[in-house]
Structure 1
Amino acid sequence: MAGVRQFDERETLGRALEVFGLHGYQATSMPDLATGTGVQRGSLYHAYGGKEQLFLRVFDTYTREFLADAARALRAADTRSALLAFFDHCVRSITSGTPSRGCLSTRTVIDASADVPQVATAVRAFLDDLESVVHDGLLAVGDAGTVLGPRPAARLVITTTRGLAVMERAHHTPDELRSIAADFVDCLTGGAGTR
């Protein structure tokens, strides 16, 4: 039937995410996306308009889910527990898959920021939103548990997540990444760790 999608959109977007995660934005082609999603190129073009538009759609879905999960992770009794749970969420995300897919936002901003302004803008908006989620999570804990105020602490936390993403690409294990994050949290909370 003309005008009716002949594929499951949720499944297709999930598969497209895996393709972008595996190859990165720049190296992913429409033939790669067609193969990876099992949807013909013409149908992908008709439904989404092209690689950039498909990526933006996939990235929007990915970031909304990531932000919601991050906010849930930050719900804890104290700042240290909230931050450790948040970093655990981040480490699980960047080390998932075989091979691990890494951090889509970090990889994309490095890969595409100069050439694709809309994609760079979407990544920047996600990082700003993530900083706000961390800021709000720190405020919600309400125990003034960082050596900085909530806004500078949130900014530093988000910067550290980018560093963890790079370390993952340099073949650090999930346990090593969690250890780095825990050391950082100890510094940020005034050495309040129990390790």
Structure 2
Amino acid sequence: MAGVRRFDEGEILAEALDVFWRKGLSATTMQDIAQATGVLRGSLYNAYGGKEEIFLLAFDAYAGRFLAGARKALESTPDPEQALRTLFGAAIASMTRGSPARGCLSTKTATEPAALDDPRLQARLRGLLDGLRGIVLAALSTDAARARLAVTPEEAADLVVTFTRGLAVMERVYQDAGHLERIAAALVRTLFRERRRPVQSGTKITSTQ
């Protein structure tokens, strides 16, 4: 890309991503990006071609970090229930960060008219959700998870991914992290069967028949 080497692309994309996250793709202008990055609009046009191209590159970097964070959360403990709690906790912390809270970038983007008209954007959004589903499915396909799930790992993965989108909408409406945490905890309890308490040695089990 002509002109890219005249500035730090990583910094440019990070600053641009922050603007897109706050204002949304449709409302963001090249002038907004120029002001945030300190790079002239002409240089940005020469290097990238337009705001959509900048957004796609910024979103790719974001998606990579998002999926890496999800994988880290789910691998933080061998307990599948606690792993899901950690995943939801990280998601809630991300979408409620900032003042005002910044929300969920992928969900905000998916609800924009531009998302319906640009197949490149559709592919990015589907790639992120498919990637998240794959990570969740892998975490819930262990023997320990299968033994305790109330549904199949595939069904659980679909529910978890869909639920994260619902959480993003609830955050926009209620703006209450505690409320989101309680909803997430309820889903985790629903996905897993209640653990049976082991019978203590010497305890007699009497029949009621």
User: What are the equivalent positions in structure 2 for 1:30-69 lying under 5 Å apart?
Assistant: 30-69=30-69
Between the aligned partners of 1:3 and 1:34, the Cα distance in structure 2 is 14
Aligned-pair Cα RMSD in Å: 1.6
Q: Which runs of 4+ in 1 moved over 6 A?
A: none
Is the Cα–Cα contact under 8 Å of residues 4 and 47 in structure 2 kept in the other structure? no
Q: 1:130 aligns with which of 129, 132, 135?
A: 132
Structure showing greater radius of gyration is 2
TM-score (norm 2): 0.85
Once the two structures are TM-superposed, the CA of residue 63 in structure 1 deviates from its matched residue by 0.5
Determine what percentage of the aligned residue pairs are the same residue. 47
Between the aligned partners of 1:11 and 1:98, the Cα distance in structure 2 is 22
Is the Cα–Cα contact under 8 Å of residues 63 and 126 in structure 1 kept in the other structure? yes
Q: Structure 2 counterpart of 1:77, which letter? A: P
Is the Cα–Cα contact under 8 Å of residues 79 and 189 in structure 1 kept in the other structure? no
Q: Structure 2 counterpart of 1:67, which letter? A: L
Is 1:12 aligned to 2:15, yes or no?
no
Once the two structures are TM-superposed, the CA of residue 165 in structure 1 deviates from its matched residue by 0.2
Q: Structure 1 counterpart of 2:62, which letter? A: Y
Once the two structures are TM-superposed, the CA of residue 140 in structure 1 deviates from its matched residue by 4.3
Q: 1:165 aligns with which of 155, 163, 168?
A: 168
TM-score (norm 1): 0.91
Once the two structures are TM-superposed, the CA of residue 19 in structure 1 deviates from its matched residue by 0.4
**How many residue pairs align between the two structures?**
191
Once the two structures are TM-superposed, the CA of residue 191 in structure 1 deviates from its matched residue by 4.8
Superimposed CA distance per residue, residues 15-63 of structure 1 (whole angstroms, 9 cap, x where no aligned partner) = 1111000011111111111112222111211222211111110000000
Is the Cα–Cα contact under 8 Å of residues 150 and 192 in structure 2 kept in the other structure? yes
Is the Cα–Cα contact under 8 Å of residues 78 and 141 in structure 1 kept in the other structure? no
Between the aligned partners of 2:43 and 2:143, the Cα distance in structure 1 is 47
Which 5+ residue runs of structure 2 have no aligned equivalent?
Answer: 196-209
Is the Cα–Cα contact under 8 Å of residues 96 and 175 in structure 2 kept in the other structure? no
Q: Structure 2 counterpart of 1:136, which letter? A: A
Query: Hey, what does 1:174 align to over in structure 2?
Result: 177
